[in-house]
Amino acid sequence: MSAVLQRPAQSSRGPGLRARLSAFSTRHRSISVIVGMAITAAVLPLIVLLPPFSSFSGQSIWIDGFTIAGIYVLLALGLNIVVGLSGLLDLGYAAFFAIGAYTYAFAASPFTGNEFPFWPMLLVGAVMAAIFGILLGAPTLRLRGDYLAIVTLGFGEIVPIVILNSSKYTDGPNGIGGITPPSIGDFLFPTTGNPWPFYLTMLALITLSMILIYRLQDSRLGRAWMAIREDELAAAANGVNTVTTKLLAFALGASTAGLAGVFLASKLQTVTPNLFRFDVSFTVLAMVVLGGMGNVWGVAIGAFIIFMIQSVFLKQLNLFFDNVHVPILSDVDFLQYQFLLYGIALVAMMLLRPEGLFPSRRRRRELHTEEDAEFGEHGDPMGAAPE
Amino acid sequence: MSMAQTADIGVRPADEATAEPSILLEARGLTRRFGGLVACRDVDLRIPAGGIVSIIGPNGAGKTTFFNVVAGIMDPSGGTVVFRGRTLITMPRRTWLEPIFWVLPAAIALLVTYLLGAFNGEESSTAVGMLVVIAVLATTLLTAIIRPRWYSRLMDRFGILRSARPNDVVAAGIGRTFQNIRLFQNMTALENVLVGMHLKLRSNLGDHLISSPRQRTDEEAAARRASELLALVGLQGIENELAKNLPYGDQRRLELARALANDPVLLLLDEPTAGMNPNETSEMTALIGRLRSDLGVSVLLIEHDMRVVMGISDHILVLDHGERIAEGTPEEVRKNQRVIEAYLGTGAS
């Protein structure tokens, strides 16, 4: 009895604060994103100084890992526009990542002899990727669902293979090395030792992308994307130009990947076609789905967590079982089973929590409407009344 | 009386001065075939400004096909639709010529780069030449896919005609609802109406990205107007409900509000009272009447419920097997022998 009485009291206090916080963050999206990212930027380097994490590796290696994780966060944010908002299943997303990376590799490496500065190249890489996004989008405008997935899958395979085989222009499987890292004035970003410049740059890029994506999502363009996801014909019958809207979704999604690609090239200082294979597309898609399709923060956190699990947790698992000498488990290389784990996680997710770890409010209502099941039945009340 | 000859009916804006100013929409000889089946044959229809015109007929009479053709969802197999003096819907003509215009700029680019010496054997200049040609080709094809207005006008000048797309029809001032409700199920009622307002909002991509003052005032005004529209159809206070969670009658009203959001001159309503109880039906009928008197919207209605049709229509068109069998005021249609036969079978009267 007392438990029953207690619960409402607790929940009334919780939502009050939460509701006020969420109301504030809805009204001041940009401020809340900046504050959130600033807190993240400050807290992450401190957390890794605490016991369980500090024993894995030193702080600077951790921060380096966070920077790479940030690249995946950017990719997931971009794919979220295409898959989460517009409902266009894109399985070849790594292609745009590759285009961004090779754009910077051509612009600032001894291989071509060019020396363009990093910062404007961020924009150029994004624009190049956006152009290819449109080029991919244009022929696939009439496709939806599985068919679109197959075509984009093909495009995702074509780009690395073209790069691999045109060895004259890309040095084939060896890739392009010696890419110039970014610099501010005379200060060249250090590639070893001090990880902070790259870390902070990455966080700035993510913050900027999140702010812009939130703005797009709340604009008429964002609503048009959602309308196309829901019902393309009805969207067209309400004045949405489905052609340009879909092309914009492809272009803006791709441009985020291009941004990530330029950053990757400058961070690793080398690009090879191997970095952009199908598993990247798949990993990013898994991040979007697991994180919660359509929710910007959810996707970002989902991407971060999955990357950390893949790059830190599995490695530690290997070390742990090596040290404790468990008979079979110590022989297993968990890193090799990464995709098995993704698969299991995705299946489990679809069964238990189809809206993702951090769903948008909309998705949660969409998928949990037991109480409204009766009304849900009315979704297509005419039943047989096709166009 | 056949008006089937589509080819020579005025399709250029210049020829359309003949249309009477009071006629809002005029369909001439509209035909649509599905393979061997003629769903709609030579249908003529005139909707005067401010009128309510109904299309009735037994199931499979071609009413919805007629609607879909007028709304730009499918191309007609013949005939035209002129809306406010502008030919909106027409059979595609000379479209086989269009690919010439797609490759023409690329061919010119090829010629120019060749004359400039791009293909003189040097590898770098060849690459540049190729890139230019491919870029020109891609740009042209993209333009053809996006089909901006200037492109349509240019094609028009060469006699290449394509029918308007659904969004162009909406832009011209025609709103529609669907027979089987097609709301954006997982968006809120307010967002549904805001999507309907898409063409009213003038902010562009740049405004979205920098969240400009224009964007903000635009959005606020749109949200206010959307709430007004919801109130107009009797849906106050449900702004933040998901569309799919609304009761059936409210979904119909919401679809009507969404169709009204673009301030249409003409509304196409496809069975607006289907599946409603008598009470809801009479409310909807009153609402449609109010739309005309308050907003000055003309209405083209498909309906099975004779009380609705006879109650509010000025003019009724009866279709059967895709053909017009009768036309006139409700009184005339009610007494028409062929209509009675079509509905009840021969020998029924």
If we measure between CA atoms, which residue out of B268, B153, B204, B97 comes closest to residue A248? B204
Q: Which two tokens stand for residue A369?
A: 């409407």
Number of domains in chain A: 1
Give contacts of B195 with chain A, Cβ < 8 Å. 223-224, 226-227, 235, 238, 240
Predicted pLDDT at B3 = 37
In tens, the pLDDT along B22-38 reads: 888 999 989 999 888 88
Strand order in the sheet with B52-56: B174-176, B266-270, B298-302, B52-56, B315-320, B323-328
| Containing structural domain, residue B128 | 95-157
Among B218, B238, B264, the domain-final residue is: B264
Stretch 15-54 of chain A: residues touching chain B, C-beta under 8 Å:
30
CB of A220 within 8 Å of a chain B CB? The answer is yes
Q: Are residues B104 and B83 in the same domain?
A: no
Q: How much of chain B, in percent, has pLDDT values that exceed 70?
A: 93
Stretch 177-236 of chain B: residues touching chain A, C-beta under 8 Å:
178-187, 191, 194-199, 201, 203, 205, 207-209, 211, 215, 218-219, 222
Mean pLDDT, range B58-83, rounded to an integer: 89
Q: Are residues B6 and B87 in the same domain?
A: yes
Give contacts of B191 with chain A, Cβ < 8 Å. 223, 226
8 Å CB contact between B291 and B260: yes
Could you tell me the pTM of the whole model? 0.86
Whether B241 is in a domain gets the answer yes
Q: For chains A and B, count residue pairs whose Cβ atoms are closer than 8 Å.
A: 147
Number of domains in chain B: 3
Stretch 28-47 of chain B: residues touching chain A, C-beta under 8 Å:
none
**Separation CA A30–CA A36 (nearest Å):** 10
Give contacts of B182 with chain A, Cβ < 8 Å. 231, 233-234, 237
Whether A51 is in a domain gets the answer no
Cβ-defined contact of A134 to B142 (cutoff 8 Å)? yes
Whether B4 is in a domain gets the answer yes
CB of B176 within 8 Å of a chain A CB? The answer is yes
In tens, the pLDDT along A333-362 reads: 777 787 888 888 888 888 888 777 777 666
Cβ-defined contact of B146 to A244 (cutoff 8 Å)? yes
Nearest-neighbour CA in chain B from A213: distance (Å): 8
pLDDT band at A375 (very low <50, low <70, confident <90, very high): very low
Residues A79-103 as b or e (16 or more Cβ within 10 Å = b): bbbbbbbbbbbbbbbbbbbbbbbbb
**Separation CA A73–CA A306 (nearest Å):** 10
Give contacts of A375 with chain B, Cβ < 8 Å. 244-247
In tens, the pLDDT along B3-18 reads: 333 333 334 444 444 4
When mean pLDDT is compared across A67-76, A94-103, A280-289, the lowest value belongs to: A280-289
8 Å CB contact between B192 and A230: no
Whether B286 is in a domain gets the answer no
Mean pLDDT over the full length of chain B: 85
Q: Are residues B247 and B332 in the same domain?
A: no
| CATH number where B215 lies | 3.40.50.300
**Separation CA B63–CA B323 (nearest Å):** 10
Give contacts of A142 with chain B, Cβ < 8 Å. none
Nearest-neighbour CA in chain A from B283: distance (Å): 20
ipTM metric: 0.85
**Separation CA B155–CA B149 (nearest Å):** 10
Nearest-neighbour CA in chain A from B294: distance (Å): 22
Give contacts of A235 with chain B, Cβ < 8 Å. 184, 195
pLDDT band at A365 (very low <50, low <70, confident <90, very high): low
CB atoms within 10 A of CB A145: 10
Mutation target to probe the A interface, by most A beta carbons within 10 A, among B66, B211, B266 is B211
**Is the confidence at residue A241, as pLDDT, over 50?**
yes
Q: Are residues B85 and B139 in the same domain?
A: no
Predicted pLDDT at B7 = 36
Whether A348 is in a domain gets the answer no
Whether B298 is in a domain gets the answer no
Cβ-defined contact of B275 to A382 (cutoff 8 Å)? yes
CB of B140 within 8 Å of a chain A CB? The answer is no
Among B243, B264, B285, the domain-final residue is: B264
Predicted pLDDT at B264 = 92
